[in-house]
Amino acid sequence: MSGAQPQPKAQQQAKPPSPAQPQTEQQPHRPPQAYPSPDPGRAGPADRPEHSGRSGGSDTVRKPRTGARTVPRTRKARLRVAKADPWSVMKVSFLLAVALGVCTIVAIAVLWMVMDAMGVFSSIGGTVSEATSAEGSSGFDLETFLSLPRVLLFTSLIAVINVVLATALATLAAFVYNLSAGFVGGVELTLAEDE
């Protein structure tokens, strides 16, 4: 009543935020790093590989010294072959002899086909037939005698004989080695291992 003016209701109504005061946005939580990544532009002498390798850094690799020369150590072991098992020697020699026989048969077949394609048998057969021909006979036919089935049969027979002889001789050699190793101690071998 004494002329007091009514005060504005500033406490009841909130003022809108002014554009001069920006609102802070919430950023995701980032845990602190145990080993902060160094700034490549500010790499000091402590951040260099040679210094960080001494301080125990696990991400850096120490460079070897240029003057250091590493010589590999060699461990040697001296062993002695005291006995050869005849049964194992017989099995191994049998398999090796069979493989050698198969390779021989295949090699002879390929060689025969190459020589036949070159015309070696026909030229030699003509010369032999002319040399052995008489008035009443045509001479010896070398091409018929050296046909592919006959050559392969002869080669297979030699391969079988080789398998039997090689297996028997290898087994006999194992027995002889065991007898001699009982007197002189066997063959000594030196095995080396590089580190």
Q: For 79-126, what is each residue's pLDDT tens digit?
A: 888 889 999 999 999 999 999 999 999 999 999 999 888 888 788 877
Q: What one-character DSSP code corresponds to residue 42?
A: G
- Report yes or no: 195 and 73 within 8 Å, Cβ to Cβ: yes
In which band, very low, low, confident or very high, does the pLDDT at 143 lie, cut at 50, 70 and 90? confident
Which one has a higher pLDDT value, 103 or 193? 103
> Does residue 52 surpass a pLDDT of 50?
no
pLDDT computed for residue 144 by the predictor: 78
Q: What one-character DSSP code corresponds to residue 135?
A: S
Residue 88 is inside which H or E element, if any? Answer: helix 86-118
Residue 49 is inside which H or E element, if any? Answer: helix 49-54
